[in-house]
């Protein structure tokens, strides 16, 4: 039976490592990692490289900065587990592109539908971005709202939700 998990935590809270550990434990050799990240600067490229180095060679990597729901659905046809990391960068990509910025709710809806349809195990990673002070920047506030909304939707649809703090996974659903 397939199972959907959502892993959420602050920056450097160990969420990606925990999600990867969950995925590695799932039986089967067909593992797909879906990266939402467009590595556009050196800081980001380094981060991506570090994450890649953590994964075993069973993994196929797919980049889906925009069409995450479709990428998950397609990957699900031939995978034992799909790990999508992360929701936050996906929302950021959608928000910063004028072609997608006014259709974000529809994209989130599509993701929820894919979560229900998919027949392999799925793990989605996201960031908590709303537990600091209200940002002065209006775009940052919109982004914070959208990410929070997406996190709620995905957590609501997931079978299991884990909150990570300082590398410790805490099961909350």
Q: Which is nearer to a second copy, 49 or 173 (CB)?
A: 173
Q: Is 133 in the site for a second copy (CB under 8 A)?
A: yes
Question: Applying CB under 8 A, which part among 54-62, 63-71, 72-80, 141-149 lies near a second copy?
Answer: 141-149
Could you say whether residue 145 binds a second copy (CB under 8 A)? yes
Catalytic residue status for 18: no
Q: 162 is written with which tokens? A: 């884990």
Buried b (16+ CB within 10 A) or exposed e, 8-45: bbbeebbbbbbbbebbeebeeeebbbbbbbeeeeeeee
Q: Does 16 appear as a known binding residue? A: yes
The annotation status of 128 as a binding-site residue, yes or no, is: no
| C-alpha to C-alpha distance for 120 and 23, rounded to whole angstroms | 12
d(CA 83, CA 126): 11
What whole-number distance in Å separates Cα of residue 84 and Cα of residue 117?
16
**Which of 1, 11, 40, 53 forms a contact with a second copy (CB under 8 A)?**
11
Q: Could you list the residues that contact a second copy (CB under 8 A)?
A: 6, 8-14, 43, 126, 128-138, 140-141, 143-145, 147-149, 151-156, 161, 163, 165-168, 170, 172-173
User: Which residues are catalytic, by number?
Assistant: 51
């Amino acid at each position: 039976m397939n199972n959907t998990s959502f892993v959420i935590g602050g920056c450097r809270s160990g969420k990606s490592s925990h999600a990867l550990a969950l995925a590695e434990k799932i039986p089967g050799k067909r593992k797909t990692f879906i990266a939402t990240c467009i590595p556009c600067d050196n800081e980001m490229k380094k981060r991506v490289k570090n994450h890649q180095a953590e994964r075993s060679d069973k993994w196929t990597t797919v980049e889906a900065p925009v069409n995450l729901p479709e990428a998950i659905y397609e990957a699900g046809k031939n995978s034992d587990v799909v790990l999508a990391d992360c929701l936050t960068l996906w929302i950021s990509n959608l928000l910063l592109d004028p072609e997608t910025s006014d259709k974000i709710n529809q994209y989130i809806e599509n993701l929820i539908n894919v979560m229900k349809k998919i027949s392999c195990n799925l793990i989605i990673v996201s960031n908590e971005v709303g537990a600091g002070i209200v940002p002065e920047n209006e775009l940052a506030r919109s982004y914070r709202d959208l990410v929070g909304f997406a996190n709620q939707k995905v957590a609501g649809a997931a079978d299991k939700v884990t909150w990570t703090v300082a590398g410790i996974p805490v099961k909350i659903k």
